[in-house]
Amino acid sequence: MHERTIALVTGANKGIGHEIAVGLGALGWSVGVGARDDGRRADAVERLRAAGVDAFGVPLDVTDDASVAAAARLIEDRAGRLDVLVNNAAIAGPMPQHPTHVDPGTVRAVVETNVIGVIRVTNAMLPLLRRSASPRIVNMSSSVGSLTRQSGPDAELTAGPVAVAYAPSKTFLNAVTLQYARELRDTDILINVGCPGYVATDLNEFQGVRTPGQGAAIAIELATLPDGGPTGRFFDDAGVVPW
Ligand code: NAP
């Protein structure tokens, strides 16, 4: 049996996902760097190893059944189980995304990555997670997926731009997470959604105000929840986010 805690972070080659890998690696964990591009994945693994992280590359395109199945086999062969899955990979899709003008293909592509991709990866990894003593699943969402915030009086200030693909994809992901939490309620698996805040990354052309390291903190907190901790909840650094 592999001694170290084993984690997989999807979209770990850059941005918040990379910093999640840094943070989990600093705990002494073995971290799978899920990334779809061979060169970007190799660079990320090299950076992490140079920083002392026990990192290994996991070729992974979350939109591709065969790629996800191969990723599960790779982790099974390496460790025989998975302790923590961080579903971080996502796309924003081309902006602007006004509902009255949007290309339906944009909505489809964003949902395919941000929602179906999470379901695909989670279900492929579940048999490995079930072998862990303290399995955790963290889904990286966003407060722009909060219907409370989108419909509140301060929406123009707190709910991001009008974006009919990206924001609802995170609402959908939140709802999907709740369904998993309900089905898995009688297991040891804790599954929650986290919002990193507004972080300067490629996703928003570096308009965000937080660092990727700050954005990663909530994922690390949810990845390290104690047994019996919360499940089916939505958190950011300040606490509970309204659905
Ligand atoms: P990012 O810098 O654009 O990184 C996204 C990562 O996802 C990249 O590694 C990207 O890989 C990967 N990815 C995209 N599609 C993929 C696919 N089909 N298969 C595998 N990997 C794929 O974005 P980020 O800002 O760090 O976002 C990380 C998470 O935080 C996302 O879930 C995002 O929605 C969430 N979030 C971000 C903010 C923010 O302000 N930045 C706010 C709220 C929530 P490539 O390099 O190959 O494209």
Domain positions in the chain: 6-240
- The residue whose CA has the least distance to atom 34 of ligand 1 is 90
- The residue whose CA has the least distance to atom 36 of ligand 1 is 142
Assigned token pair, 176:
């999907």
pLDDT at residue number 18: 98
Assigned token pair, 52:
């002392």
Half-sphere exposure for 197 (CA within 13 Å, toward CB) = 17
Order of strands across the sheet that contains 239-240: 54-59, 30-35, 6-10, 84-87, 136-140, 190-194, 234-236, 239-240
Cβ of 62 closer than 6 Å to ligand 1, yes or no, is yes
Q: What is the pLDDT along the chain (243 residues), one digit of tens a residue?
A: 568 999 999 999 999 999 999 999 999 999 999 999 999 999 999 999 999 999 999 999 999 999 999 999 999 999 999 999 999 999 999 999 999 999 999 999 999 999 999 999 999 999 999 999 999 999 999 999 999 999 999 999 889 999 999 999 999 999 999 999 999 999 999 999 999 999 999 999 999 999 999 999 999 999 999 999 999 999 999 999 999
Amino acid in the structure at residue 233: R
pTM across the whole model: 0.98
**230 CA to centre of ligand 1 in angstroms:** 25
Q: How many CB atoms lie within 10 A of CB 209?
A: 9
The fold adopted by the segment(s) 6-240 is: Rossmann fold (3.40.50)
Tens of pLDDT, residue by residue over 131-180, are 999 999 999 999 999 999 999 999 998 899 999 999 999 999 999 999 99
